[in-house]
Amino acid sequence: MVRARVLLVDDGPVDETVSALRDRECRVTAVESVSDALVNLRNNRVDIVVTEYQLPDGSGLELLAEIRESYETLPVVLYTAHGDEHVASEAIDAGVSSYIPKDEPPTASRLAETVSELTIADITGAKSDDLPTPTTETIIRAVDEAPIGITISDPSLPDNPMVYINEAYEELTGYDAELALGRNCRFLQGPDTEEEAVAEMREAIEDRESVDVEVVNYREDGTPFWNHVTIAPLFDDDGNLTHYVGFQNDVTDRKEAEAVATQRADSLREERQALERVLGRISGLVNETSQILVNSGTRAEIEREVCAEIAQTDGYSHAWIGQSRATGAGTTVSVDETGRNGAVEMEAVGEWSAAIFEEAIEQGTVQVVSGDGDLPASLAPSNYDASSMAVVPLTYRRATYGVLAVYADRSDVLDRRECKIFEALGQMIASGINAVETKQVLTADRVTELGFEITDDSFPLIELAQVSEGSVSYNGSTLSDDSVLRVFVTMSGCEAEFEEILAQCETITDGFVIAQREETLAASVEIREGGVFRELAEYGATLRDLSVSASSNTAQLHIDLPVEGDVRSVLSELESVYDGVNLVRQHERERDPRPTAEFVAAVADRLTDRQYTALETAYLSDYFEFPRPVSGEELAASMDISRQTYHQHLRAAQRKLLEEFFETE
């Protein structure tokens, strides 16, 4: 027999204590903190609490104070290894049932004896004879004033009517005694009362057995509520059935919470199943698209193969990729082989269509059109035996490559999950297009040359020219391993010190002088966040030339784009960042002769980082021109090495370059 249920609160060794308590037939639950103890008290029956003084989240006396707010008579023993006279006095003043220091042996057995003394009377009933017996009036008052509805019915009368109800029953149902007494309790039933629960109660009453059900009942004003009903038969000393007692409790809040939880679980299950369907349908498409992007050599090939792959995927009937014209009028639509062969130029796509294309690109999200809407007949979903169309933006970093239109042949396709996947797919396609166009601009025989004039003072080299009151020309740039963009420039007509110039420039964060002759100097400067140089690279553009005159403070910018490059996007990007941007030149030309990619890669592989930097710095500083504008000492200082070491790196780099050039099989 369990003599006492002990809650032991101690974050130290407790094995000896638990063993001593169990020897006294105590059931021990051990926890380590005040918070754990309070949770245990709320959820379990506890006869006595034994606590250490020092706990991880408070003290034993703080736990005592919490206990006294809810359990005034629950015994609490302070059993501590951290006590002294002050702690003992404080514990006694706080009202502990007993104070036992652990350093006074035999501590564990002494604790067990104390627990037995404090709980034996209440747990075993050894003093039950001394307890007063409540009067009949007390029992009646307890039933009348009970917080749950209580009814008594008489089965000896026709239809087993109720002969007693308490006040809580009247409050629960809204029926007062005059309306309820003399009637069978079925009058609480209504339209949503389940027949199964009613049948279960009827069967139990017929069999003279207890029953416990939850049933929808209705109050006097017609309001439904969930009623937890317990009915039990009452027998006299001879075993004859005399009455049925019923207990009613409103459990509407719990039932509603359970319904919400069930609904949420069902929603999560449906969401998971829908996601699995989407992934099952589209995972193959993503893999095939990846292969297309790897194997394709041109943008046209990517567009054709991607659209064909989408049209062959279950759930989709057609796909095309469209681009806005550079003039801003109309859209060019490329249609894949499974639809209508060839390219179709739409002279006027329609204001609504153009708006949805722009919205998809500007927001970077997939836009879905259900039905035909206001689309032209040639682009309407019904024209492709489809129920809806998704417009997917094709954007990579700052570059836009048009939109991908996907037609779905069923209403359950193109939900929000699928749209999210198509957003990622659109970015992947745009990245692939960017890669092939960047490769084309590096390898093509012809390029589109663009010339711009920029007058915005925030343009990096314009600011540098204004502050220095001279001219600035661009020699080249490098991107370090830590993504720092350094630009090599030549500055002419500079009267101020270079450090003073840098301190006044907001667009330039760092820099140093490589060489200086009178009022002309070669320098390396670090552009804040890359400026326009990094933005142009994101469009597959290469910077050909850049200069700012001392008199006009106007930047002359020349770049090369792939022949199929997005000229309008480059212009729009420059205009979005800087004021005073004018496109003054656009024409195709033959590419300047450049070494092959294989040769460049072979040389780069042979050079060390120091050798590469020495060679690059010398070239960008015009060290190989005559007369030399910069000395070896100055270049060495820019790399923070000695002149002798610099020349060793430079000669080694030159030798490797020449060996690679003249090397024969």
Each residue's pLDDT tens digit, 85-108: 888 888 888 889 889 888 777 778
**What is the average pLDDT across 609-615?**
82
CA dihedral of 257, 262, 266, 272, whole degrees rounded to 10? 80
- CATH for 276-443 (3.40.47.10, 3.40.50.720, 3.30.450.40, 3.40.50.1470): 3.30.450.40
CA dist 289 → 48, 283, 341, 439, 594 (Å): 69, 10, 21, 19, 33
| Spatial separation of the C-alpha atoms in residues 202 and 206, rounded to whole Å | 6
| Number of residues that this document lists for the chain | 665
**Is 523's pLDDT higher than 70?**
yes
- In this prediction, residue 290 carries a pLDDT of 84
| pLDDT value for 205 | 93
Residue 280: pLDDT band with limits 50, 70, 90 = low
Predicted confidence at residue 425, as pLDDT, reads 87
What's the CA angle centered on 175, arms 171 and 181, to 5 degrees?
120
CATH architecture label of 4-130: 3-Layer(aba) Sandwich (3.40)
Alpha-carbon gap, residue 93 to 78, rounded angstroms:
12
Hunting for tokens 């329609």 — which residue is that? 350
Closest to 474 in 3D by CA, of 482, 485, 483, 484: 485
| pLDDT more than 70, % of the chain | 83
pLDDT in tens, 631-653: 778 788 878 888 888 888 888 88
pLDDT at residue number 455? 87
How confident is the model over 178-185, as a mean pLDDT?
A: 93
Arithmetic mean of pLDDT over the chain: 81
Q: What is the CATH number of domain 137-250?
A: 3.30.450.20
Sign of CA dihedral 413, 418, 424, 425: negative
**Is the model more confident about 634 or about 431?**
431
Most confident of 61-70, 113-122, 290-299, 326-335: 61-70
Would you state the torsion angle of the CA atoms of residues 654, 656, 657, 659, taken in this order, to the nearest 10 degrees? 120
Range name among 141-150, 214-223, 443-452 with the lowest pLDDT average: 443-452
Name the band, by pLDDT with cuts 50, 70 and 90, for residue 508. Answer: confident
Q: What is the pLDDT of residue 591?
A: 64
**Per-residue model confidence (pLDDT) at position 179:** 92
Query: What pLDDT was estimated at residue 341?
Result: 35
Task: Give residues with Cβ within 8 angstroms of 344, minimum separation 6.
Answer: 333, 334, 335, 378
- The alpha carbons of the chain give a radius of gyration, in whole angstroms, of 44
pLDDT surpasses 80 at 77: yes
CATH 3.40.50.2300-classified regions of the chain: 4-130
With a CB cutoff of 8 Å and minimum separation 6, the contacts of 25 are 1, 2, 3
Q: Which of the pair, 169 or 81, is modelled with greater confidence? A: 169
Rounded Cα gap, residues 620 and 381, in angstroms: 57
Nearest to 104 by CA among 129, 131, 79, 130: 79
Q: Which residue has the higher pLDDT, 362 or 63?
A: 63
**Domain 597-662: CATH architecture, name and number where available:** Orthogonal Bundle (1.10)
CA distance 550 to 520: 13
Is pLDDT at 155 greater than 60 in this prediction? Answer: yes
Q: Is the pLDDT of residue 218 over 90?
A: yes
Residue 391 reports pLDDT greater than 80? yes
Q: Tell me the C-alpha distance between 515 and 638, whole Å.
A: 9
| 274 neighbors 417 (Cβ within 8 angstroms) | yes
Confidence bin at 336 (pLDDT 50/70/90): very low
Pinpoint the residues of the chain covered by CATH 1.10.10.
Answer: 597-662
Residues of the chain with CATH 3.30.450.40: 276-443
Q: What angle do CA 568, 570, 571 make, to 5 degrees?
A: 65
371-382: average pLDDT? 76
Comparing 561 with 601, which gets the higher pLDDT? 561
Q: How confident is the model at residue 126 (pLDDT cuts 50, 70, 90)?
A: very low
Average pLDDT over residues 128-153: 82
pLDDT value of position 502? 86
pLDDT exceeds cutoff 70 at 310 = yes
CB neighbours (10 Å) of residue 17?
22
Q: Is the pLDDT of residue 40 over 80?
A: yes
Q: How far apart are CA 32 and CA 98, in angstroms?
A: 20
Task: Name the residue with higher pLDDT: 598 or 195.
Answer: 195
